[in-house]
Amino acid sequence: MIENTFEFKHWFTENFEQFISNLNGESWESVNSLRREAMVNFSNLRLPTVKDEEWKYTNITPILKETFKPVHAKSTIPKDEIEKFLFDDKENILLVFLNGYYVEELSRLKGVLKGVQIGSLAAAIKGNSPLIAKHLGKYADYKEHIFTALSSAYSRDGAIIFVPAGKIVESPIHILHISDAREEKILNLPRNLYVLGENSQASIIEHFVSTEESTYLTNTVTEIFLDRNAVLNHVKIQEESKKAFHIAHVGVDQERSSNFVSHTFLFGAELSRNDYITRFNDEGGECTLNGLYLIDGKRLCDVHSTIDHAMPHCNSHEHFKGILDDESRGVFNGKVLVRKDAQKTNAFQENNNIILSKSALVNTKPQLEIFADDVKCSHGATIGQLDYDALFYLKTRGIGHEKAKAILIHAFASDVVRSVTIENSKSHIENILIQKFDKNLN
Amino acid sequence: MEKMLEIKNLYVSVEGNEILKGINLSVNTGEVHAIMGPNGSGKSTLAQVLAGREDYEITAGEIFYKGKNLLEMAPEDRAREGIFLAFQYPVEIPGVTNTNLLKTAVNEIRKYNGLESMDALEFLSFLKERMKLVELDQSLLSRAVNEGFSGGEKKKNEIFQMAVLEPKLAVLDETDSGLDIDALRIVANGVNKLRSKDNATIVVTHYQRLLNYIIPDFVHVLYNGKIVTSGGKELALELEEKGYDWVKEHAAELAAG
């Protein structure tokens, strides 16, 4: 373990200067100083072990056994290979990233309003966009999170979205992160930045897929800033290869009366760790974090969230559901921090799990830290099996055992899916569920 | 008239307690049988055993349905062969709409019987026609099965499902309990309209009241896990008049004949 840890970190520290010099002015000094600072943090931070409270149930040893390396050159794939990842043929805005790099010829930017920026982070860095200096590295903490530090040091590309004050982006923005690893042990570092100005609105889908069932590591960081009254509908669909590793950090800063609605669907990866850290910087904010993890085999899925009620009169709603089969492991840790001045906070959290086998396991932990005295907070966690009475009831109507089970599992998942408001992504998720459960049903 | 159901010397235990202690019952096509008895006499256990509840242990006896050994059949196959149980406590199934449940059920049963699936339009008009039988509000079709239904709606929904699935042998487990008189009439009307010379109904009830509307051919009194006496529809009236205490006091002599 210690050896692996050393090797994993060693490669990145050893090669960092070379990496910076290879950037060749592609990166401005402001970004390079962020990279250097993040690199110092990366070398000083320890890779987490199960002795760390935050990683108690998620052992990252399998990741450290491989030597995953970032890809240095852009590549592309034929257009027809991405068809299967698209929601429908009417999508106006599609950003395609292959192994972390923007692929312009596969992307679509139809009807983007004047002033709205949607595109590649690398291009924005190269063009010395003022957005970068103002926002990059501000909302995802790289001082404590080692994988975020690695992203801040080494990431070169990702999606950047800027919606100026008052603009509404009607078309959902579909961001497709494709891993095309083949035999290579690659490390993908997509780094995303979404900035929504006052009274603006957008819908963004982050969609992680792979061309084949190969082993690779995705370490992605998304930073989101919502200015006053901004509304962001966020959907994340993680369909990585079942042999891949996925580490994700979404950091959100919310200004007055802004609204962040997020739905996460975790289907893939051998091991995935999903951190959500949101902060209310002013009053009146709303934050919804919903999600579903559906895993089988010996796979592990870990969701860690922190909702920071730093200011009064904010509402948060969190509801994650889990479906676990075989020997899979689920981890849910929902931290809600209500600071001393955050009076009139409403914070509701729920985590419900269904275990389909004798050997699957879930560790769920609500973690409410409340320092204000005039708040409404609730939490609940359940772990159960399929309801025997409901199963019997369906069977007495002539529905076979397997189909009855599928109906009940699908029903369990369906309220999370129903609350998704981005229609095309919703039907994509529905189709995934139908394929998983109902393939013999009709 | 053919023999539909034959229960022979049935003993059933639930969690180690013997509930049914030697039931004998024979039901022919075209007949309506009422099974009455005080609470705890084993009525619901019998109903659930017929539907195939797996956690009830059959310790002795046999059940034949249309000449087949019923106890060897899975619950879903019993339903596909035409057995329907209207539950005393219908189960709520969040996330599954009434329409979806019935569509899946109807098509599963059709597939079992070698028939093609019904197409969506055909099915919907069939559903709507069947809803009229039980005067069920159409909005309940798109709602999750029994979720948030009133007691009366749940019972009506059971009879609606029965109307859609068109069983050969319907077992109504205390379908009358908790119903006001209007709902009771509607439910009984629905059941009566579905009666035919080819099917049979077993009405399990605590009260005689329902039997004013669904006229039984035979009445059986179940007490302490046994059928202590059987008779025609007049037995129900006698029971109503004398009360279950009479059964309890005279159980031994009734059983002796």
A-chain CB neighbours of B92 within 8 Å are 390
Q: What is the torsional sign of CA A22, A28, A29, A33? A: negative
Measured between CB atoms, which of B53, B95, B107 is closest to A392?
A: B53
What is the predicted pLDDT for the residue at B171? 97
Say if residue A439's pLDDT is above 80. Answer: no
| Partner-chain contact B104 A393, CB within 8 Å | no
**Cα–chain-centroid distance for residue B74?**
17
pLDDT band at A74 (very low <50, low <70, confident <90, very high): confident
Q: Mean of the per-residue pLDDT values for chain A? A: 94
- A438-442 mean pLDDT: 51
Q: What percent of chain B has pLDDT over 90?
A: 77
Range with the poorest average pLDDT among A272-286, A336-350, B227-241: B227-241
B-chain CB neighbours of A414 within 8 Å are 95
| Partner-chain contact B108 A414, CB within 8 Å | no
Of B48, B62, B57, nearest in space to B15 by CA: B57
Phi-psi region of B178 (alpha: psi -120 to 50; beta: other; left: phi over 0): left
- What pLDDT digit, counting tens, does each position of A299-312 carry? 999 999 999 999 99
Q: What percent of chain B has pLDDT over 70?
A: 98
- Tokens for B251? 């159980």
Global model pTM greater than 0.95 = no
CA distance A333 to A365: 5
Of A265, A266, A371, A362, nearest in space to A312 by CA: A371
- What pLDDT digit, counting tens, does each position of A105-149 carry? 999 999 999 999 999 999 999 999 999 999 999 999 999 999 999
Of B227, B176, B163, nearest in space to B22 by CA: B227
For chain A positions 339-398, those within 8 Å of chain B (CB to CB) are: 387-390, 392-398
Measured between CB atoms, which of A393, A397, A412 is closest to B95?
A: A412
Pairing type for strands B32-36 and A217-226 reads unpaired
- What pLDDT digit, counting tens, does each position of B234-249 carry? 999 888 888 888 888 8
Say if residue B160's pLDDT is above 60. Answer: yes
B-chain CB neighbours of A393 within 8 Å are 87, 90-91, 93
**B76 close contact with A: CB closer than 8 A:** yes
For chain B positions 16-45, those within 8 Å of chain A (CB to CB) are: none
CA distances from A333 to A211, A314, A336, A379 (A): 31, 21, 10, 12
**Phi and psi for A227 in degrees, rounded to 5?**
-75, 180
- What pLDDT digit, counting tens, does each position of A366-418 carry? 999 999 999 999 999 999 999 999 999 999 999 999 999 999 999 999 889 99
| Partner-chain contact A394 B101, CB within 8 Å | yes
Of B151, B137, B132, nearest in space to B98 by CA: B137
Range with the poorest average pLDDT among A1-15, A142-156, B85-99: A1-15
Range with the poorest average pLDDT among A98-107, B102-111, B175-184: B175-184
- A60-83 mean pLDDT: 90
Picking from A352, A388, A391, A396 by the largest number of B CB atoms within 10 A of its own CB, the best residue to mutate is A396
Say if residue A340's pLDDT is above 80. Answer: yes
Q: Mean of the per-residue pLDDT values for chain B? A: 93
Sequence-separated (6 or more) residues with CB below 8 Å from residue B161 = A397, B84, B86, B101, B102, B105
**A408 close contact with B: CB closer than 8 A:** yes
